[in-house]
Structure 1
């Protein structure tokens, strides 16, 4: 009996990690990258630099929350897509205030997805921007990313190797001489810089997600019990979850790749500006 219970707990844990692990890892990395990127942006251009990217980035972030609210039947009490003046005082660019029925398991689980909404929606908007503005680059990138994801077997060193390969491919696709002469390219760059600079989860978002993940695990425990009793092939379930992660990871790896590019651009601007300032002082 003890072994049976331990197996159920183990299976449930693995299911949750396989299904949500990539989201958690990418969310954590995005938060670190965005914080450093905005730090360099603010040092170079002040609060106005943050505000310029927020004109697109903040509404996309809040719409990510709002869409998930609708999907999981939460009531949206108030929504502010952007607060250009008030945000200078409290640092809050926008918000979505919502409520839900605490007796509804579906709505409780929704808290997790509402919390991570900006990552999913922001990644999707960036991919769509690439498709409509840089179609050839999108086709090449999508084919390469899909091929790379076929080698994912779990959360191990291959995860980071694949991330590196996709990032390098994206870098080659974006930064070439032909793109520099295209108006669509510069519109695309503005969009990805704006979204990537405001896609990471806030402390409130993380708290929101944490409330939902508990109920996701409870549902997973129940399903694992059913699978165990009915002798369902667990490996088959794992394979389906990993198949789902293949497509989810394309979105998340894209977000991470763009965020790293934005960080590098902001670092270069900061150091070049400082170098020019030092040279002018010496003269």
Structure 2
């Protein structure tokens, strides 16, 4: 009985540790996926497939570059790349075809990060865009986050951190000075294009799931070893997961622009519908 309880406790700890380490980025990815699908649905209803293509010129290459960079990091062999294709019969805008050694645990774990690559490249591109095009807003945002945003555990604090981050971004980005700055409007175009193509495809999610199972297996083995050696890996993992504060803060940039893109898509759809009714 004690062995069974110990096994179940180790299993539970491994799940919790995995959630602390990668749960936040998964949650952000799921929310971005919902927002993007809704936005694209309204754009297609309003303008047909061409409505999505307008933002694909910027968004799709950044999406695929995210996969590509992670392939290099995790040692996967890349066989074919298409950063942008506009006339594919299946509607696939781009892809990165890669292969890995199934006997390599490192490369198996890499599947998770390769699948999530577009989120990393999307958020990173948004941050770089702020840094180069609206630097005053970027540094004001960064300074205020360091002073205000705290993260210690995955509870209601997660929602509070997202709300506070979005509030800080909005306050520092949508200012009178920026509205009069042409570079700000260039940044908005880039930001909307990236946010419209940041979400994961079904193939991306399947690939990530393979890597996630490998991450869990590694954590489970570490926890078995830690029980034998009487180590407290749980507290160590929680402290290590403090980086989630930055993932949430900067991920909220993508969430903000994805939400704004959705609102604009809904407005365009309704405007088109009113125009059609008026003409008829």
Deviation at 1:220, TM superposition (A): 0.3
TM-score between the two structures when normalised by the length of structure 1: 0.91
Greater shift, 25-34 or 173-182, is seen at: 173-182
Greater shift, 205-214 or 161-170, is seen at: 161-170
Deviation at 1:110, TM superposition (A): 0.6
| 5+ residue gaps, structure 2 | none
* Cα distance in 2, alignment partners of residues 48 and 4 from structure 1: 57
* Cα distance in 2, alignment partners of residues 235 and 97 from structure 1: 37
Within-5 A mapping of 1:219-258? 219-258=218-257
Within-5 A mapping of 1:33-72? 33-72=35-74
Residues 149-184 of structure 1 show CA distances to partners (whole Å, capped at 9, x for unaligned) of: 31x232322211221222233223333333222111
SS in structure 2 of the partner of residue 90 of structure 1: coil
Structure 1 residues 250 and 216: alpha-carbon distance in aligned structure 2, compared to 1, 3 A threshold: same
Counterpart residue number, 2:24: 22
Residues 63-120 of structure 1 show CA distances to partners (whole Å, capped at 9, x for unaligned) of: 000110000000000000011111xx31211001111111111001111111011011
Counterpart residue number, 2:154: 155
1:79 paired residue among 78, 81, 86? 81
Within-5 A mapping of 1:1-283? 1-86=3-88, 89-150=89-150, 152-279=151-278
SS in structure 2 of the partner of residue 92 of structure 1: coil
How many equivalent residue pairs?
278
**Conserved in 2, the CA contact under 8 Å of 1:120 and 1:251?**
no
TM-score between the two structures when normalised by the length of structure 2: 0.92
SS in structure 1 of the partner of residue 168 of structure 2: helix
**Conserved in 2, the CA contact under 8 Å of 1:109 and 1:212?**
yes
Deviation at 1:201, TM superposition (A): 0.5
SS in structure 1 of the partner of residue 236 of structure 2: helix
Give the root-mean-square deviation of aligned CA atoms: 1.8
* Cα distance in 2, alignment partners of residues 258 and 133 from structure 1: 16
